[in-house]
Amino acid sequence: MSEILRSVQGTAAGHDLALALALLAAVLHALFGALQKGRHDPWLSRAAIDVSYGVIAAPFALFVVPWPEPHMWPIFAGAFAIHAVYKVLQAMTYTRGAFTVVYPVVRGTGPFFTVIGAGIVFGESFAPGQWAGLALLVGGILGLAAWNLRHVTVDRATMVPALGLAVATGAMVAAYTTCDAYGIRATADPFTFLAWFFMLDGIFIPIVTHRRWRQLPAAEIVPLLKRGVSGAFVAYFSFGAIMLATRLDKVGEAAVLRETSTVFAALIGWLVLGEKVGPVRTGLMAVIAAGAVVMEWAG
Distance CA 266, CA 254 (A): 20
CA 193 from centre of chain:
17
* Residue 177 CA: distances (Å) to CA of 90, 148, 186: 15, 27, 14
CB count, 10 Å around CB of 183? 26
- Residue 38 backbone dihedrals phi, psi, to 5 degrees: -140, -145
Which H or E run contains 163?
A: helix 159-186
According to the model, what pLDDT value does residue 273 have?
A: 57
For residue 194, name the pLDDT band (cuts at 50, 70, 90): very high
Map out the domains of the chain as residue ranges: 2-298
According to the model, what pLDDT value does residue 76 have?
A: 97
User: DSSP character for 40?
Assistant: S
Output the pTM of the full model. Answer: 0.86
For residue 129, name the pLDDT band (cuts at 50, 70, 90): very high
| pLDDT at residue 6 is higher than 90 | no
273-281: long-range contacts (C-beta < 8 A, 24 or more apart)? Answer: 280/147, 281/144, 281/147
According to the model, what pLDDT value does residue 50 have?
A: 94
Least confident window among 19-33, 257-271, 281-295 = 257-271
For residue 99, name the pLDDT band (cuts at 50, 70, 90): confident
According to the model, what pLDDT value does residue 70 have?
A: 96
According to the model, what pLDDT value does residue 272 have?
A: 64
